[in-house]
Amino acid sequence: MGTITLSIDDETERRFRSTAKKVIGERKGYLGEAATDAMKLWIHEKTQEAIAQDALDLIRKTYRFGEKRYSNRKDLYDR
């Protein structure tokens, strides 16, 4: 288990503590549990954003949407 020391503005800290008390309850370790959940959520969100961006980059590289590749209908249907 790691230890992190953070500097957070007073309003954010007050709201975080208040919300953590309501959701988890005021018991030993509630702030650590709430902070861990918040960090996991943030990591998941950023990971999903990266996955989505990678997929969009792949689509842009592989496919050319909207590009006309034939000059007339005969080129499209080779008969």
Whole-angstrom distance, CA of residue 30 vs CA of residue 22:
10
pTM of the model: 0.65
The answer to the question of residue 30 being in a domain is yes
The answer to the question of residue 2 being in a domain is no
pLDDT tens for the chain, 79 residues: list them: 888 999 999 999 999 999 999 999 999 999 999 999 999 999 999 999 999 999 888 888 866 666 777 777 777 776 5
The answer to the question of residue 46 being in a domain is yes
Q: What is the pLDDT of residue 65?
A: 64
Find the domain containing 54 and state its range.
10-66
The answer to the question of residue 59 being in a domain is yes
Total of domains in the chain: 1
Q: What is the pLDDT of residue 9?
A: 96
The answer to the question of residue 34 being in a domain is yes
The answer to the question of residue 75 being in a domain is no
Whole-angstrom distance, CA of residue 32 vs CA of residue 5:
12
Q: What is the pLDDT of residue 69?
A: 72
